[in-house]
Amino acid sequence: MDLAEITRRLELETLYADYSACLDSDALERWPDFFTETCHYRVTSAENYEHGLPLGLIYATSQNMLRDRVSALRDANIYEPQRYRHLVSGIRIEQEDGGALDVTANFLVVRTMQDGGMILFAAGRYVDRIERAGAAWKFAKKIVVLDSRQIDTLLAIPL
């Protein structure tokens, strides 16, 4: 691995760490900034994904749709106070073409409710496409593939 490659790997590590920190620290307003303007974001189950079924529990085809999601979570939807803790590991570059990278990564998300109740809320992998945007990497596509089709109660904060 040459220095350029090591640098790129560290950039990816940083990207996923920043992404997780954003969601886990309730900085949701910054979350859409991790995406390109014409991004595709969806949350689905492995069952749907493997059968080629296109449904998303959250399904967005622009950065503005992500901003709308955040506005609704802040001002319209009702859900109990809760926080996530993302553990992301196993970041792999699956393919590279031009400046864009197809990247996958594993995640675990622990959800803690206001009364301290804590569950392993989600496990799965990100199937991403990232692009250079100036000095930063941005998600042009992020498919959150959940291992389980079951969601406990509701899915409010994005994954």
Partner 1 sequence: MPQGLQSLKWPKEGNARVPYRVFSDPEIHRAERDRVFLGPTWQYLALENELPEAGDYKTTFLGETPVIVTRGDDGQIHAMVNRCAHRGNLVCLKQRGHAKDGLTCVYHAWRYDLAGNLTSIAFRRGVAGKGGMPESFKLEDHGLKKLRTDSFAGIVFGTLSSEAPPFAEYVGNDIGGRIGRVMRGKPKILGTTSQILHNNWKLYVENVKDTYHASLLHTFFTTFRISRLTTAGGVAIAESGAHHASYTYGEQRGDNATSDQLYSDIHSLHEDYRLRDPRFLDSLDEIGDGVTLQILSVFPNFVLQQIHNSIAVRLVLPKGPDETELQWTYIGFEDDDAAMTERRLQQANLVGPAGYVSMEDGAVGGFIQRAIPGAEEESSVIEMGGREHAPQPTRATEASVRGFWNAWRPLMGL
Q: Which residues bind partner 1 (CB under 8 A)?
A: 43-45, 47-48, 53-62, 64-65, 67-68, 71-72, 75-80, 149-156
Measured distance CA(92)–CA(103) in Å, rounded = 6
Q: In terms of CB distance, is 6 or 53 closer to partner 1?
A: 53
C-alpha triplet 159, 95, 66: angle, nearest 5°? 30
DSSP state of 64: H
Measured distance CA(145)–CA(125) in Å, rounded = 5
Q: State how far Cα 81 lies from the chain centre.
A: 20
Q: In terms of CB distance, is 41 or 137 closer to partner 1?
A: 41
- Least distance between partner 1 and beta carbon 105 (Å): 21
- Least distance between partner 1 and beta carbon 101 (Å): 26
Q: In terms of CB distance, is 81 or 90 closer to partner 1?
A: 81
Q: In terms of CB distance, is 16 or 121 closer to partner 1?
A: 121
- Least distance between partner 1 and beta carbon 113 (Å): 11
Q: Which amino acid is at 77?
A: N
- Least distance between partner 1 and beta carbon 147 (Å): 13
Specify the 3-state DSSP secondary structure of 104. strand
Task: Read off the tokens for 68.
Answer: 């709308």
